[in-house]
Amino acid sequence: MQEVMLALHALMVSLQEATRQTSNYYLYNWLWWLFLIFAFFIFPLVFGDYYQLLRLSGTINRLLSDLGRVLNQSFTSVVNTIENIVRKNNIQNVTRKDIESKIKDLIEYVLIQPTELETQGIVNKLKHIITLYNKELEDAIRRLIPVDKHVIQNIVSSVEALRSLNLIYKIVMHYYRLGMKYRNFYILLQIYMVIPQIKEAVNAISGAINAFIKGQPIGDSAGPLTAFKFLREKCESVEPLSHSVEDTYIARCRYKGRIVYVIKALGPGSSTGRLDDAVTYLIEHCGVKPRAIITVDAALKLEGEKTGTITEGIGVAIGGIGVEKFNIETLATKYRIPIYAVLIKMSMPEALTLMTKDIAEATNKAVERVCKIIEQVAKEGEEVLFIGVGNTIGVAQ
């Protein structure tokens, strides 16, 4: 202890000696202290915001250039796909320039949501607007390339995904420019905080465009794939029903003496169908009295959850804006029909990109769960509705 005290004393004496040295040492010492004080106290206080602004603007600038690159690549692959279709089908008077200008127009096409000032009947208004929007997009692509419906549906979905990418790019650019215009790093911070989510969404959407243009099933196709496997592997005497519901497939089959109505979007084009209209058609027009409505859909997992985990529950498992969910819930409540849900867990990038092996295998387990629910809720001769919810791209019936 005494040695330590002696050493400290020696250090203090040496420091005092240092300040009493020649004027040069004295000057250098103070200059060095001034530099340190400026570097660690004055600079952060006075220029801290500016430094943060530089740092954030650099990051967001880099993000923007990456976004622009992804947007351009995706745009080019969609245009190339359409050009190939034009060449393959020998469609006359359609040049690459025409395709590019049409796609650019469609990317900027807007959907204005109905007013929420008066909420009565808003669901029907929303459904009307969305149906019209989808129809307009399909018609625009059909005018450009009059080919099979499923090809058009795949191109429409690619354009929709491009539109989302473009919107993300424009929003990031808006905040970046606004922040730089007013030299306000808090505006940039709003974008900076959501960069991981933006990155994940952009990865997912650009992957979705790849799957759409090739017509491959995506993670969200898990619901329709479950319906397909149920029809092929578990059902007997499958009988497709003729009906007027657009883009939707309805079949009646027998499973262990129970009558099961299977509803899914009509594949293999990219479509989510009109599942609520199909349920209304069966219950209100055909007089079907189901003992239960079972929905199977892809559900977003939380970080740490395993992809392909199956979860059961009560309620209508349909994502999106909620129009279909609302209509099916209303019908189920009106006729007091129990509603069961089977969820297949996956992340957002997995839901939008090419289906993974884990998800494909999980659909087998989902089929088993659906069979178990049917056996539990309905006796022989009773009816059940089974809806395979999701985008049916790459999955026929």
Partner 1 sequence: MISVTELYALFMALSLSLMMILIFVTYMFMRKTMFVSIETVTGKAITVLKCPYCSYTIRRVFREGDHVGAVAQEKCPIHDANLIVSEIYTETPSSE
Q: Minimum Å distance from CB 360 to partner 1?
A: 4
Residue 164 lies near partner 1 (rule: CB under 8 A): no
Question: What CA–CA distance (Å, rounded) separates 37 from 360?
Answer: 62
DSSP 72: H
Closest CA to 366 of 342, 392, 331: 342
- Do 53 and 188 meet the contact criterion of CB atoms below 8 Å apart? yes
Query: Using the rule CB under 8 A, which residue among 99, 212, 217, 259 binds partner 1?
Result: 217
Question: What CA–CA distance (Å, rounded) separates 224 from 388?
Answer: 4
Give the three-state DSSP class for 220.
helix
Q: Which is nearer to partner 1, 151 or 378 (CB)?
A: 151
Residue 308 lies near partner 1 (rule: CB under 8 A): yes
Question: What CA–CA distance (Å, rounded) separates 229 from 249?
Answer: 14
Question: What CA–CA distance (Å, rounded) separates 395 from 349?
Answer: 19
Residue 351 lies near partner 1 (rule: CB under 8 A): no
Number of neighbours of residue 34 by Cβ within 10 angstroms:
11
Q: Minimum Å distance from CB 191 to partner 1?
A: 11
Interaction with partner 1 in 106-135: which residues (CB under 8 A)? none
Query: Using the rule CB under 8 A, which residue among 30, 32, 38, 335 binds partner 1?
Result: 32
Residues touching partner 1: how many (CB under 8 A)?
61
Residue 154 lies near partner 1 (rule: CB under 8 A): no
Q: Minimum Å distance from CB 354 to partner 1?
A: 5
DSSP 218: B
Q: Minimum Å distance from CB 198 to partner 1?
A: 9
Residue 37 lies near partner 1 (rule: CB under 8 A): no
Question: What CA–CA distance (Å, rounded) separates 330 from 292?
Answer: 14
- Do 169 and 64 meet the contact criterion of CB atoms below 8 Å apart? yes
Site stretch for partner 1 (CB under 8 A), options 183-191, 292-300, 306-314, 324-332: 306-314
Interaction with partner 1 in 188-207: which residues (CB under 8 A)? 192, 195, 199, 202-203, 206-207
Q: Which is nearer to partner 1, 195 or 377 (CB)?
A: 195
- Do 384 and 374 meet the contact criterion of CB atoms below 8 Å apart? yes
Residue 357 lies near partner 1 (rule: CB under 8 A): yes
Q: Minimum Å distance from CB 224 to partner 1?
A: 8
Residue 368 lies near partner 1 (rule: CB under 8 A): no
Query: Using the rule CB under 8 A, which residue among 27, 30, 55, 197 binds partner 1?
Result: 55
Question: What CA–CA distance (Å, rounded) separates 352 from 205?
Answer: 7
Q: Minimum Å distance from CB 307 to partner 1?
A: 4
Closest CA to 149 of 246, 228, 277, 232: 246
Residue 375 lies near partner 1 (rule: CB under 8 A): no
Query: Using the rule CB under 8 A, which residue among 102, 229, 264, 274 binds partner 1?
Result: 229
Question: What CA–CA distance (Å, rounded) separates 332 from 283?
Answer: 10
**Which amino acid does the sequence have at 216?**
Q
Beta bridge partner(s), residue 260: 253, 384
Per-residue contact flags (x/-) with partner 1 for residues 309 to 348, judged by CB under 8 A: -------------------------------------xx-
Q: Which is nearer to partner 1, 131 or 166 (CB)?
A: 166
Question: What CA–CA distance (Å, rounded) separates 298 from 390?
Answer: 7
Question: What CA–CA distance (Å, rounded) separates 226 from 215?
Answer: 18
Query: Using the rule CB under 8 A, which residue among 223, 268, 290, 390 binds partner 1?
Result: 268
Q: Is the peptide bond before 268 cis (omega within 30 degrees of 0)?
A: yes
Beta bridge partner(s), residue 206: none
Residues that bind partner 1 (CB under 8 A): 10-11, 14-15, 17-18, 21, 25, 28-29, 32, 36, 39, 55, 58-59, 62-63, 66-67, 69-70, 73, 192, 195, 199, 202-203, 206-207, 210, 214-217, 225, 228-229, 232, 267-268, 304, 306-308, 346-347, 349-350, 353-360, 394-397
